[in-house]
Structures are given as structure tokens and as C-alpha cells.
Amino acid sequence: MKSATQIAADVRSGTSSATAELERTLTVIEQRNAELNVFLYVDVEGARAAAAQIDARVARGEDVGPLAGVPIALKDNLCQVGVPTTCSSKILDGWRPPYNATVIERLLDAGAVAVGKTNLDEFAMGSSTENSAFGPTRNPLDPSRVPGGSSGGSAAAVAADMTAVSLGSDTGGSIRQPAALCGLVGVKPTYGLVSRYGLIAFASSLDQIGPFAKTVADAALVLEVLAGHDARDSTSLPEPAPRLVAHVNDGVAGRRIGLVRELFDGADESVVASVRAAADALRAAGAEVVEVSIPELALTLSAYYLIAPAEASSNLARFDGVRYGLRVSAEDVTAMMEATRTAGFGAEVKRRIMLGTYALSAGYYDAYYGQALKVRTLTIDAFARAYQRVDLLLGATTPSVAFALGAKTADPMTMYLNDVFTIPTNLAGDPALSVPFGTGEAGLPVGVQLLGPGRSEARLFAAARVLEIADGRP
């Protein structure tokens, strides 16, 4: 699979065509999707029409944009006009949105071709893409293992060479974790850098949309297209998109990078070895690497699993069988809503709704949700202090390489621990990315995580590019 950067250059120059690139994508999807369960819906007719339109514009000498003819996969919690959008849940069965998410508008305006919708953990609640109502997605690198979650379908699409890039959403690690397990670059942007308009909400103060790619340059290119103010999202930062591609090769000379003990303690030996090797590579490229400790991070997993379910219980109240999606008939409205939500939501979604509702209930709010918000403030302050001493932080993305399908489904707590290194950044609202570096068990990829203060994406991409080169991926 060519990079997105190369595809766009070839389509613009006439060396290739959007139609040819799309047909190559559709062929791979046809060959591998039945085995891997990556796409829930492939918009063959819509994608072919879009590709033909791009080719016609190129023939007329028009500039069709920085993603000219690039096929892209979309996580199925992003609204696209007329395309089934399910969040991998029975409760949205048959729903086709009447509008596009802002990120989809921006991709299409940049010349990208939307291929279809990818599988995810239901309503983005999970770490393995095994919580989908439509069956699990398998890791293309080893189909007996998970691709990570919740954006496992989007990660698998790129890892399987179905598309060069894809979009996911990251609430507690749902882009970075599957990127690590599938050997990809995955980016969680600064909160507010990318519009959430048209993203079906899980936890509104945590959710962010970002790209998956095989190269740092491709991830930077896609994020540059996605970013920038959107008046339809009240949390959108009131500023234009940053220049990112131009800074990918800036390097790390003179940067001070903190190796965070709490972001790799307890990880598998191979993961720890990769993180330390990444620190050596950054040091060799001219950065000063120092070990730092942020003890507050030990509290973040507990805080997250109160804040996120509390917001989910509120956001998911809208799925009631009245306006759209599934409706189970009953003798009155109350019984209909209960029957619809019972039949429509899966076990993990019900678990989190109940936990969140309990945490917000009278008599428990201060003890649980209120305390979690205090931990969030402590986390924000702790990161701010760390960034006064260093430019970036380094740690592991996940505690292990991709694990076997079914290995952790019986114990929710074991599954939740997969996000222990990614959750802190979501609570703080800062950016972070995962980049492949080294291998672990069975030769599977290890992802290392780079973290920075708000709006530091350009620095993160530059450091990630250093690691990409050091890992032998020029």
C-alpha cells in the first residue's frame, strides 16, 4: 500500500487516478474483510462516484486538495449523510444520518474518498473491539489476537492495507491503544483542536477524533486537514489549523524529554525495553532525556471510570426508541423505553450506564463523581508542572502487545487496565500519539507514547519521526 501522501501526489499529477486507487482498496477489502470483520458497511457506489468526480476535476486542471483520491475508512460513530451509522449497537439499527460530521466534510473537501464504516466496541466502550453487536474485529498481523479498541476496525483497515489512513476517536486511549497493537501511528489531538460535531458522544469532555496511518507524515497530513475552528462545536478552539507537515522533520535537537516512570511501570519486559530504547534513540538525535515521576497518574484509571461512565449515562439517555433507531413495542411509553434499551444495548454499555448513573445519584455524587473531578484537576496540574521542566514526555502506550481474542472478556477490570497508560492524557486534554518502536512477544509490534502540552502536535510529530527513522522505517 502506498502512503496517503504518495497517493495524493500521484492522483494530482495524473500518474494514477482516484478510481484506480479506490479499486485497489475495494479489492483488498473483498479479499480480507470476511476474515477480519473490519468494515460494517462499504459504500461502493458512493465511493466510486466520488472517485470519478475527483478524476474529472483533475482532468480539468483543478486542485482537488491535499488528500486527492486518498481512500479513507471511518469509525462507525461518525455521522455521514445517508450512510448507516450504528456505533456497533443494535439500538441504532437502520439509522442513516441526515448530515455529515465536520471531520467528514473536511476530508471530502480535501479530496479524500470515504470508503465505508469500520467496526468498534459498542459506543466506543472497550479496549479490544470485542464488544461490537456485529462480532469482533481480528488483528491483521495475527487474526487470533485483538486489534485493540475501541477503534479496532479503523486500525485494522490500515494494518491490513485496506486503506492508507483512517479515522478513529479517542476517549481513554481508543486511537493510541489499537495503533500500538496494530503497529501504526495513532494520534489523540489536543481537546478542541478537532471538531466533535457529528461524533456520536460517549464522554463529551474526553472524546477527540484523530487519524491512524502507517507513517508519521501521513498522520500529520490528515490531522492538518481535520483541525481548525468549527462554530458548530462549542468546545472547538477558536483558531485555525496548525501547520504540521512542515514540521515533521524538525528533529529533537535541544529538546528536553521526560521518561515517565508511571507510564511504563508494570508493563511487559519487551514493552519496557522498547520504551528505554526509544529514549536512547531520542538522546542520540540530540534530545536531553531525563527520568521523571508523576505520582498523580496512579489515580487516573479510577477517576476515568467514574467520569466517563457518568457522561455516558447522560449522553446515551437520548437512545430511547422514540426518535430513531430500534423500537421494541410495549403497552406504554415507559415500558417501550425499558424494553428498547434492554434489547438494544450490549452488556458493557449497560454496565457503564449503570455505573455512571449510580455515581451521579443523590447521596453518592460528592463521594464518587465529585472526587473524580478533583483527581482530574490534580492530573491537569501535575502535567502542567511536568511541562514546565520538559518539552515532551515519553512512556509506553500499552502494557503488552496484542493479546488473544477472548483472553480478557470475562474480567472487565483486566480489560480496563489496558488503558492505564493512555487515560491520563484524556483527563488533561493534552495531545499524545503512539508510534511503533520495536517488537515483543511473537514478533508483534510495540507502541511507545509521546505526550505534550496543549497544541504541541508539531513537536510530537517531529519526535515521532525521529523514532520512525530509528526503528528502520524511513
Q: Which amino acid is at 30?
A: E
**Exactly one of 17, 88, 150, 151 is catalytic; which is it?**
150
Is there a catalytic annotation at residue 188? no
CA distance 305 to 83: 32
Is there a catalytic annotation at residue 174? yes
| Residue of 369, 358, 349 lying closest to 306 (CA atoms) | 369
CA distance 42 to 55: 21
Q: Tell me the DSSP string of 354-367.
A: HHHHHHHSTTTTII
Query: Coil, strand or helix: which one is 145?
Result: strand
Contacts of 367 (CB under 8 A, 6+ apart): none
Residue 88: enclosing H or E segment and its boundaries? none
| Residue of 201, 208, 203, 163 lying closest to 182 (CA atoms) | 163
Give rounded-to-5 percent helix, strand, coil for the chain. 45, 15, 40
For 261-287, give one letter per residue: b (16+ CB within 10 A) or e.
Answer: ebbbbebbebbbbbbbbbbebbeebeb
For 165-180, give one letter per residue: b (16+ CB within 10 A) or e.
Answer: bbbbbbbbbbbbbbbb
* Region of residue 66 (phi > 0: left; psi between -120 and 50: alpha; otherwise: beta): alpha
Contacts of 245 (CB under 8 A, 6+ apart): 217, 220, 221, 224
**DSSP-derived pairing of the beta strands 256-260 and 288-292:** parallel
**Exactly one of 88, 89, 166, 174 is catalytic; which is it?**
174
**Exactly one of 75, 117, 188, 408 is catalytic; which is it?**
75
CA distance 9 to 127: 35
Q: Which residues are designated catalytic?
A: 75, 150, 174
